[in-house]
């Protein structure tokens, strides 16, 4: 028995037209963040609930949130001197602006 699968025989690709792009993908084009970094003052925080995610997914989400702040700084949309920290808590991921 051959365990190798011929991918061309098992792969079915259909080209579709006029499928709208989800808004979460197009948000990059608007320059807006889905996180409220621009509106935050020192000691403000926000919570992202993560009840249906496993530990790895939660850590990936935490890193993605802070990466979004870093991207805004690199794009000049957020002051580079601002500092955000995050912590995984039982109720979710909390992000604080500390400076």
- Ranges of each domain in the chain: 36-99
pTM, two decimal places:
0.68
Query: Are the CB atoms for 91 and 49 separated by under 8 Å?
Result: yes
The total of other beta-carbon atoms located within 10 Å of residue 37's CB is: 21
Structure confidence at residue 23 (pLDDT): 60
Query: Are the CB atoms for 35 and 46 separated by under 8 Å?
Result: yes
Structure confidence at residue 28 (pLDDT): 53
Structure confidence at residue 1 (pLDDT): 47
Q: Among candidates 30, 37, 88, which has minimal Cα distance to 67?
A: 37
pLDDT in tens, the chain (99 residues): 445 555 455 566 677 788 887 665 445 555 668 899 999 999 999 999 988 889 999 999 999 999 999 999 999 999 999 999 999 999 899 999 999
Q: 3-class DSSP state for residue 48?
A: strand
């Amino acid at each position: 028995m051959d365990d190798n699968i011929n991918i061309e025989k098992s792969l079915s690709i259909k080209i579709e037209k006029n499928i709208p792009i989800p808004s979460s993908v197009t948000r990059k084009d608007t320059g807006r963040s889905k996180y409220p970094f621009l509106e935050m003052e020192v000691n403000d925080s926000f919570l992202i609930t993560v009840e249906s995610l496993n530990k790895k997914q939660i850590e990936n989400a935490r890193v993605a949130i802070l990466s979004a702040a870093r991207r805004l700084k690199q794009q000049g949309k957020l002051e580079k001197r601002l500092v955000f920290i995050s912590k995984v808590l039982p109720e979710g991921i909390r992000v604080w602006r500390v400076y």
